[in-house]
Structure 1
Amino acid sequence: MATPLQLESAELPADAVEVGRIADAWGVKGWFKVLSHSASPEALFSSKRWYLQPSERGAKTFSGTALLQIRQAKDHSDTVVAWAQGIDDRDAAEALRGARIFVPRSSFPSTTEDEYYWVDLIGLQVVNREGVALGLVRELMSTGPQTVLVLAYEQDGKALERMIPFVSAFVDKVDLPEKRITVDWQPDY
């Protein structure tokens, strides 16, 4: 008989960002697979404290927010696998399936100049060189060789979207404090 999951209850940090989900158990010693929301899961590796919330759908093996002390997290093939304090067998790891993973933004590794976390770009206003508002960044999409800004905007009362490659040929400036991205792009492109 499986023992009930014993997780440490916690308060979700104010700067918490959802970075992935627990996919399934991996092996028999309590390791689990993680589906990262980013192609570069550095935030998962840099934080030793993950905050979990249950999946919106399916069976809930815990409620509220739980703190998971990460013993180890690493790349394995095309996925991330992790092992945490108190998760010592396959049953415990399976009980975490579907849980949403949050880490504090303050624990993300520092970025270099002209590097940005996608989460920091969501919601920014995009304007062109002439100051014409083109929309708000709704999401970013990786198309393989480049990332694309997906903007939401309205025209004649209709919700529309516009896509702009997030490359230096089109992006003049990202101003995080001003919550603005300036681009070389016209509304009719």
Structure 2
Amino acid sequence: MAGSERICVGAIGGAFGVKGEVRLKSFCADPAAIADYAPLYSEDGKREFDLVLTGILNNGLSARMSGITTREQAEAARGIRLFADRARLPSLPDDEFYHTDLIGLTVLDTGGTELGKVKAVLNHGASDLLEIMGPGMKSPLLLPFTLAVVPTVDLAGGRMIVDPPEEV
């Protein structure tokens, strides 16, 4: 919910070359901005990385990261999700949200009936989808995260109002 100290901004995709560079997947709107948010941390906070971007690749970036100096270390780091201190990230306009702030929000329909909670925010290329799970649901409800379907997001109140399409 709001107030998370760190936000996931990328992940290590494996080795690039033989001199310890890594393939970097950036989850930032401007992929190269990930370097502006360093130092980055592993999810458990036990590893800290400074980074220098070295190039642009298909589906990512190449970078040198502190503590990774060999191809073997770069391969071993594959899959490490990278987190930045929230205070280093830019403030967002009123109609934009960090995914981490949406997860856990209570979801109500326009009549005030609770549908469940946001379990995840998915993006498979087109737009964001909210994955909502509630009591007695065998499978999640997936709703597009658009202004038409989600007219109200109240982070302070820990809830969002949704107006699902009729076919849901």
TM range (shorter): 0.7 to 0.9
Query: In the alignment, what sits opposite 1:50?
Result: 40
Q: Which runs of 5+ in 1 are unaligned?
A: 1-13, 55-63
Name the SS for the 2:52 alignment partner.
strand
**Equivalent of 1:115 in 73, 93, 96:** 96
Distance (whole Å) between structure 1 residues aligned to residue 157 and residue 33 of structure 2: 24
Name the SS for the 2:35 alignment partner.
helix
**Equivalent of 2:5 in 15, 34, 47:** 15
Which deviates the most, 146-155 or 21-30? 21-30
Change (3 A) 1:139 1:42: farther
State TM-score, norm by structure 1.
0.71
Q: Which runs of 5+ in 2 are unaligned?
A: none
CA displacement 1:127-178 (0-9 Å, x = unmatched):
12211111100112224332221100113xx544212211111111111111
Q: Which has the larger radius of gyration?
A: 1
Distance (whole Å) between structure 1 residues aligned to residue 138 and residue 23 of structure 2: 37
Query: In the alignment, what sits opposite 1:57?
Result: none
Matches within 5 A, 1:22-171: 22-36=12-26, 38=27, 40=29, 41=31, 44-52=34-42, 65-72=46-53, 75-155=56-136, 158-171=137-150
Name the SS for the 2:140 alignment partner.
strand
Query: In the alignment, what sits opposite 2:155?
Result: 176
CA displacement 1:84-136 (0-9 Å, x = unmatched):
23434434433433433222222222212211111111111111221111110
Q: How many residues align?
A: 164
Question: CA contact under 8 A between 1:19 and 1:101: conserved in structure 2?
Answer: yes
Distance (whole Å) between structure 1 residues aligned to residue 14 and residue 85 of structure 2: 23
